[in-house]
C-alpha cells in the first residue's frame, strides 16, 4: 500500500462553545470568527478561515489541492474564507514528491452570516393609551428570536435599558431565563437583540414610549358629609351625629355608601368590593344598607397594569332599633303639668 500525503484541515478557531457568545453586547458589537457544531453539522460565519496542512514522511509533500462544492481542484496557497451562505463542501488532498495522490477528503460546512429575527413581547398584554404603553414592575419582557432556515440557531436573546449594555437572556416565552423586568417607575425604553450560535447579532431594536407604573390606586369614600370610622380613624361620611356612644357608625336603611379611586399613571381599571362573607366583586353602584344589620365592607382597586391597592375595611351598623315614644301632659303654654295625687290634696286641705 502506498503511503500518501495526509492533509489536515484546520480552522483558525478551535472548538466553538456557547461561552463564545458574549454575556453582554452593545452598539459596538463586532462579530468574531466562530465555529459551532451541533447534531453532526458544522457551522461557521464568513470570518472563519480554512487552513490546509499536510505531511509526507517519505519523499515529502509536493503540494495540496482543494475544491469547493464538487468543482475543479485548485492549488492551495493560503487559508481561505467562504463568503457565500449555505452548505459547502471543501474537498482537499495532498500530492507527494513520488506522484502519490491522497484520496480526497471532504468537509461539509454550513456558512451562516444571517442574524436571527427578533421581536419583544410581554407575558401579559400591555395597557395602551394613545401612543403610550404602560406596564408594571411585574410585567415580564422577553425576546422571541428565529434564526434563518438552515442557520446555526439562536444562542441567546439580549435585553436592557442601556443600548451599550444588553445582557444575555434566554429567548422565547417558555424559557425561564428569558424574562426581564423594569424596576423603576416612569418612562423607559427597552433595547433588545438576539445572537445565533456563530455570533450573528440582530440589529439592536428599541421598544420605546413605555411607562412603568408601580403605584396602586388610592381608594376613597365618595359620600362626604358624615364621619365614619375606617380602621381606627374617622373619615367624613354623611354626619358625625351618627357615630354612637360605642364609636360605631350608625346608618339608616335609606342610605348608601359610594366608593371611588384615583390612579396617576396607567389609570384606574376597577374597584372591587366585598360585603360581609361574600366574594370580592366589581363595584358598579353604591351599596345600600337595606338587608343586613352590619355591613363589613372591604374595598380595593386595581390599575390598568394590575397594581392592587391596599384593602380598606369599613364597618357600618344599620339602625334596627325601634324609636321610643312618650306621652306628656302640658298646659296651653306647653308647660309640663304637675301630677297631683290624692295625698297632695289631703295635705293641701289640712293647711
Interacting residues with Ca ion (CB under 5 A): 3, 56, 58, 96, 112, 114, 147-148, 151, 196, 200, 213, 215, 263, 265, 303
Smallest gap from Cβ 231 to Ca ion, in A, equals 22
Q: Which three cell numbers stand for residue 89?
A: 463542501
Spatial distance between the Cα atoms of 223 and 260, rounded to a whole number of angstroms: 10
Identity of the residue, 61 or 287, whose beta carbon is nearer to Ca ion in the bound complex: 61
User: CA 234, 316, 251, 236: dihedral to nearest 10 degrees?
Assistant: 20
d(Cα 92, Cα 83) in Å, to the nearest integer?
18
∠ Cα 55 56 59 (to 5°): 145
CA atoms within 13 A on the CB side of 228: 25
C-beta of 255 vs 303, nearer to Ca ion: 303
Q: Which residue number has the CB closest to Ca ion?
A: 151
Closer to Ca ion at the Cβ: 114 or 193? 114
Smaller CB distance to Ca ion: residue 213 or 255? 213
Of the candidates 308, 305, 299, 311, which has an alpha carbon nearest to the alpha carbon of residue 267? 305
Q: How far is the CB of 218 from Ca ion (least distance, A)?
A: 9
CB of 237 to Ca ion, least distance (A): 25
- Residue 210 grid coordinates: 413605555
Identify which of residues 55 and 74 has a Cβ nearer to Ca ion in the complex. Answer: 55
Q: Which grid coordinates belong to 69?
A: 462544492
Q: Which is nearer to Ca ion, 300 or 317 (CB)?
A: 300
Closest distance between Ca ion and the C-beta of residue 281, in Å? 22
Q: In the block, which residue shows the cell 358629609?
A: 225
CA distances to 100, 220, 221, 285, 300 from 259, rounded to whole Å, are 96, 6, 4, 9, 10
Q: How far is the CB of 193 from Ca ion (least distance, A)?
A: 13
Closest distance of CB 2 from Ca ion, Å = 7
Least distance CB 32 / Ca ion (angstroms): 15
200 vs 300 by CB, closer to Ca ion: 200
Question: How many helices, marked H, and strands, marked E, lie in the chain?
Answer: 1, 29
Amino acid at each position: 500500500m502506498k503511503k500518501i500525503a495526509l492533509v489536515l484541515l484546520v480552522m483558525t478557531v478551535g472548538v466553538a462553545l456557547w461561552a463564545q457568545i458574549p454575556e453582554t453586547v452593545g452598539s459596538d458589537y463586532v462579530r468574531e470568527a466562530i465555529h459551532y457544531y451541533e447534531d453532526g453539522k458544522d457551522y461557521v460565519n464568513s470570518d472563519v478561515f480554512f487552513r490546509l496542512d499536510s505531511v509526507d514522511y517519505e519523499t515529502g509533500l509536493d503540494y495540496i489541492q482543494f475544491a469547493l462544492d464538487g468543482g475543479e481542484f485548485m492549488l492551495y496557497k493560503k487559508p481561505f474564507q467562504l463568503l457565500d451562505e449555505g452548505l459547502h463542501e471543501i474537498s482537499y488532498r495532498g500530492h507527494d514528491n513520488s506522484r502519490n495522490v491522497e484520496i480526497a477528503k471532504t468537509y461539509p460546512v454550513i456558512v451562516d452570516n444571517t442574524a436571527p429575527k427578533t421581536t419583544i413581547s410581554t407575558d401579559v398584554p400591555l395597557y395602551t393609551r394613545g401612543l403610550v404603553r404602560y406596564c408594571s414592575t411585574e410585567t415580564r419582557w422577553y425576546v422571541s428570536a428565529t434564526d434563518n432556515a438552515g442557520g446555526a440557531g439562536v444562542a441567546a436573546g439580549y435585553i436592557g435599558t442601556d443600548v451599550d449594555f444588553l445582557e444575555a437572556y434566554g429567548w422565547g416565552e417558555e424559557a425561564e431565563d428569558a424574562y426581564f423586568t423594569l424596576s423603576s417607575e416612569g418612562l423607559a425604553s427597552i433595547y433588545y437583540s438576539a445572537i445565533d450560535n456563530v455570533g450573528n447579532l440582530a440589529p439592536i431594536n428599541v421598544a420605546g414610549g413605555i411607562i412603568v407604573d408601580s403605584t396602586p390606586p388610592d381608594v376613597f369614600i365618595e359620600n362626604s358629609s358624615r364621619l365614619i370610622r375606617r380602621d381606627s380613624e374617622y373619615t367624613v361620611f354623611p354626619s358625625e351625629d351618627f357615630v354612637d356612644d360605642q364609636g360605631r357608625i350608625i346608618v339608616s336603611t335609606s342610605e348608601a355608601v359610594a366608593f371611588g379611586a384615583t390612579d396617576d399613571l396607567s389609570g384606574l381599571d376597577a374597584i372591587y368590593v366585598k360585603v360581609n362573607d361574600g366574594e370580592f366583586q366589581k363595584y358598579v353602584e353604591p351599596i345600600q344598607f337595606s338587608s343586613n344589620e352590619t355591613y363589613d365592607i372591604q374595598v380595593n382597586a386595581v390599575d390598568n397594569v394590575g397594581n392592587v391597592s391596599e384593602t380598606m375595611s369599613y364597618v357600618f351598623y344599620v339602625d334596627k332599633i325601634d324609636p321610643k315614644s312618650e306621652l306628656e301632659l302640658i298646659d296651653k303654654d306647653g308647660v309640663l303639668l304637675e301630677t297631683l295625687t290624692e295625698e297632695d290634696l289631703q295635705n293641701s286641705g289640712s293647711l
